[in-house]
Chain A
Amino acid sequence: MNATCTAPSSELVKSSQKPRYSVSRRDDAFVIRVDMPGVAKSSLSLEFQDDVLSIRGERISEQPNSWKMLHQEYSTQPFQLRLRLPAQVDEDQLNASLEDGVLTLNLPLKPSPQPRRIEVN
């Protein structure tokens, strides 16, 4: 095998690539879409800590060992994205779905506190 065409071993290179993503704001939620081609549900991890949402997706079984690489254009490194969420996101209501290599995150916003009316006696 031509050494220059070999995908870097994850043992040697602990790097990652940043996926394409988009964020849209709805009235009651943020919707984030992240392109993660080649990532299965089982190889996706989502972590939420200190307002930072970490998304990591490993590509599953890139190719059997018997396959010989002839030409490579896209990176097979794991996808990694970290996003700081605004405080009004209700992290307990966060839900995620993965379909056709696209991760869709729905981040509902906490209802804004209602103004308290103070009666004047």
Chain B
Amino acid sequence: MKLARYSPFVNLGRLTDFTPLIRQPIAGFPAMAQLFEDLFPAATAVNGRLAMDLHEDADNFYARFEVPGVKKDGLKVEVREGVLTVSAERQDKDGDSQSASILSRSMTLPDGVQDESISAKQENGMLTVTLPKQEKRKPRLISVH
């Protein structure tokens, strides 16, 4: 088995990337645009961390992570002392060579989250962690007499 560092920018073979330059961040300057793209590849990792979005509705907070190519057993979601840590290990197999990469991300939980009821779901390469709000944090409608 050969271990190789995961890099999406290898071995183009004889395929040509035909994405029109117009969609590059710096249109008209291919070298510059390529450099830009190498420095800031499309999402997935922000500074080596797992990219995250955070949403809320009346009942829950929702933290979502992009985890393409990560199997369920490569995902670890952990809550300790008010900090949520998600780590994702991706294993790619190509012929007889394998590569593995691990990205992780921690965030301080918002106030008023019920630690014991946190749940996580994986679908289409996205991980959604649902953080239920404590009753007292939910918006309450006060009737007017």
Interface residues of A (CB under 8 A from B): 15-26, 30-33, 35-40, 52, 60, 63-64, 66-75, 79-86, 100-102
| A93→B92 CA distance, assembly (Å) | 24
A-B contact count (CB 8 A): 137
Is A100 in contact with B11, judged by CB distance below 8 angstroms? Answer: no
Chain A residues with Cβ below 8 Å from B62 are 63, 67
Q: Known A-B contacts: A24-B13, A36-B125, A100-B71. Give 10 more (CB < 8 A).
A: A18-B37, A24-B11, A38-B125, A38-B126, A71-B52, A71-B54, A75-B42, A80-B23, A100-B122, A102-B125
> What CA separation (Å) do A56 and B55 show in the bound complex?
26
- B57 near A73 with CB under 8 A, answer no
Q: How far is the CB of B99 from chain A (nearest CB, A)?
A: 10
Whether, in the assembled complex, B31 has its beta carbon less than 8 Å from a beta carbon of chain A, the answer is no
Given known contacts A20-B41, A60-B124, A102-B125, A81 and B19 CB-to-CB distance under 8 angstroms: yes
Complex contacts, B23 vs chain A, CB 8 Å: 15-16, 18, 80
B13 contact from A23, A64, A66, Cβ within 8 A: A23
Q: Interface SS of chain B: helix, strand, loop or mixed?
A: loop
Which chain B residues lie closer than 8 Å to A80 at the CB level?
Answer: 19, 23
Closest B residue to A86 using CB positions:
B14
Q: How far is the CB of B15 from chain A (nearest CB, A)?
A: 5
How far apart are B86's CB and chain A's nearest CB, in angstroms? 13
Chain A residues with CB under 8 A of B94? 24, 31
| Chain A proximity of B129: nearest CB distance (Å) | 13
Chain B residues in 8 Å Cβ range of A31: 94
- Complex contacts, B9 vs chain A, CB 8 Å: 22
B8 at the interface (CB under 8 A from A): yes
In the complex, chain B residues 104-126 whose Cβ is within 8 Å of any chain A Cβ: 122, 124-126
CA distance A79 to B53 in the complex (A): 18
Please give the distance in Å from B58's CB to the nearest CB on chain A: 7
CA distance A105 to B126 in the complex (A): 20
Chain A residues near B126 (CB-CB < 8 A) = 37-38, 101
With a CB–CB cut-off of 8 A, which chain A residues contact B16? 83-84
With contacts A26-B95, A30-B13, A102-B69 known, is A63 near B18, CB below 8 A? no
Q: Is B103 an interface residue (CB 8 A)?
A: no
The 6 residue pairs across chains A and B that have the minimum distance between CB atoms = A101-B125, A37-B125, A101-B68, A74-B43, A71-B54, A35-B68
Interface status of B67 (Cβ within 8 A of chain A): yes
Cα distance, A24 to B4, chains bound together (Å) = 14
Most buried by B among A24, A36, A52: A24
